Amino acid sequence: MLGDESFVQKLRDRVKGLHKERREITALRQGMHKERGLEARNVAMWMIWESGTKSLLEIGELFGGLDYAAVAQRIRRTRLAHDARTKRKLLGEMSNVEI
């Protein structure tokens, strides 16, 4: 960088600020992806349970060895977070999915 000391310092401060903002945005974006992924897994567990084809233990095994109690808790929370209309829609969409 060419310029006097105050000019160089201003540039350093500006670059530092941009770097900090970029890290904050990246962290926020990663957090959103994790939440969406977790919600999708929970809905998938709920839909499999509602289909009646797998036990809680089997669902837990499908999702990386989760304990049946953890699966039951996720299903309960997901069920409470969605209404009956959403449930019917999701079950209809899953009708052609083979588990």
Model confidence pLDDT, tens digit, residues 12-26: 777 776 655 555 556
Give the orientation angle of helix 84-94 with respect to helix 5-51, to 10 degrees. Answer: 80
pTM: 0.58
pLDDT given for residue 76 in this prediction: 95
Residue 74: CB atoms within 10 Å: 23
DSSP string, 22-60: HHHHHHHHHHHHHHHHHHHHHHHHHHHHHHTSS-HHHHH
Burial of 75 by CB count in 10 Å (0-12 exposed, 13-18 middle, 19+ buried)? buried
Distance CA 94, CA 12 (A): 54
Distance CA 69, CA 78 (A): 14
For residue range 23-63, list pLDDT tens digits in order: 555 655 566 556 777 888 998 999 899 888 999 999 999 99
